[in-house]
Amino acid sequence: MKLKLLGNELEKYQHGGSVAVVTDTNVAPLYLKEAEDSLSRAGFAVNSVIVKAGEESKDGMTYLVLLERFAKIPLTRTDSVVALGGGMIGDIAGFAAATYMRGIRVVQVPTSLLAAVDSSVGGKTAINLRNGKNMVGAFHAPAFVLRDTSLLDTLPECVFADGCAEVVKTAAIADARLFDTVKTPEGVRQSLGNVIERCVAIKEAIVAEDAFDTGNRQLLNFGHTIGHAAELLSGFAVSHGQAVAMGMAAVTRISEREGWSEPGTADALTEALENHGFDLSIPYSAKEISAAIRKDKKRKSDELDLVIAERIGKCVLRRIRLDEMEWMMS
């Protein structure tokens, strides 16, 4: 669906009233006017909020700024928030919508590959704390997701690659045939529409069985335990895709060494990730990673459910102790 149809699609859910478009300083010059014009043509009163681009904006201060802006407009319970941007915007705008007046409608318009295939799907919203990523959040499913693949044309190569990490992750979890397609950047680009559609279908099927992340939805965290630790230790200077790539490679090397993965799984995954330009070396010690993992929201007392790739296309959960994790990473 094209961005110019945003207003027409929202009319199916809301008749008149106000819409707050939340975007960032990178996306606003490219796509904000088109989104505003579409909504205005459909009869909505449009108010836009532009936040500084970057993961560092996904914090409590920016979140409160959004709430104050919503109240000043003022948005009512029948109005909507449109999240126009990548994963950071989708997360913080979604969380603001989830909590403003105890929850108002949110629409996700992803402008990055990562957001299109992953963060816009499933209703997870959150902000970061200094001591952890996505530590404050809510489940708040969007009314709809408008995916316009032309919005990805302006992505810098490094940002597109970030999304490819989540694409490779999804394939490694559930679809070996898809993995063969997406193990190179050329494979992703040549089949981009189909790749996005398949990744979304895989995630939606998993979420449908486990909406609140208590069971198999945790499979979608493949690479994220070590990855989130690396992001946190870097002060979010390491991008999410880069961190997840590091995490997937590291945990699969460990699991193959422990006999939990079929031989060759780590090499296949490493090759695919390196094809996408990722440096898979982790610039932190096992002790530092372990300490950061202890701040992870997925931790269960002194244990965690680690996502293991038994083979490409099949992942399982394996509960391990945190001290065992540190020992295996050493």
Instruction: Let me know if 330 is exposed, middle or buried by CB neighbors in 10 A (0-12, 13-18, 19+).
Output: exposed
Looking at the fold, whether 141 and 240 belong to one and the same domain comes out as no
Per-residue model confidence as pLDDT tens digits over 144-187? 999 999 999 999 999 999 999 999 999 999 999 999 999 999 99
Looking at the fold, whether 110 and 180 belong to one and the same domain comes out as no
Range of 300's domain? 158-329
What per-residue confidence (pLDDT) applies to 152? 97
Tell me which of 127, 152, 177 is where a domain ends.
152
Per-residue model confidence as pLDDT tens digits over 90-130? 999 999 999 999 999 999 999 999 999 999 999 999 999 99
| Of 141, 125, 151, nearest in space to 207 by CA | 141
Distance between CA atoms of 149 and 226, rounded to whole angstroms? 30
Tell me which of 152, 167, 192 is where a domain ends.
152
12 in Cβ contact with 38 (< 8 Å): no
User: DSSP of 113-142, one letter per residue?
Assistant: HHIIIIITSS-EEEEEETTEEEEEEEE---
| Alpha carbons within 13 A on the beta-carbon side of 306 | 26
What angle, rounded to 10 degrees, do the helices at 322-329 and 286-293 form?
A: 160
Looking at the fold, whether 179 and 258 belong to one and the same domain comes out as yes
Looking at the fold, whether 139 and 162 belong to one and the same domain comes out as no
pTM of structure: 0.95
Distance between CA atoms of 112 and 151, rounded to whole angstroms? 8
| Of 27, 21, 204, 216, nearest in space to 196 by CA | 204
Q: What is the number of other CB atoms lying within 10 angstroms of the CB of residue 180?
A: 15
Q: How confident is the model at residue 236 (pLDDT cuts 50, 70, 90)?
A: very high
Looking at the fold, whether 18 and 138 belong to one and the same domain comes out as yes
User: How much of the chain exceeds pLDDT 70, in percent?
Assistant: 100
pLDDT of 326 strictly over 90: no
Mean pLDDT of 202-231: 95
What per-residue confidence (pLDDT) applies to 311? 98
Task: Provide the number of structural domains found in the chain.
Answer: 2
Per-residue model confidence as pLDDT tens digits over 5-54? 999 999 999 999 999 999 999 999 999 999 999 999 999 999 999 999 99
What CATH number does the domain containing 245 carry?
Answer: 1.20.1090.10
pLDDT of 282 strictly over 90: yes
Looking at the fold, whether 169 and 265 belong to one and the same domain comes out as yes
What CATH number does the domain containing 61 carry?
Answer: 3.40.50.1970
Tell me which of 152, 186, 204 is where a domain ends.
152
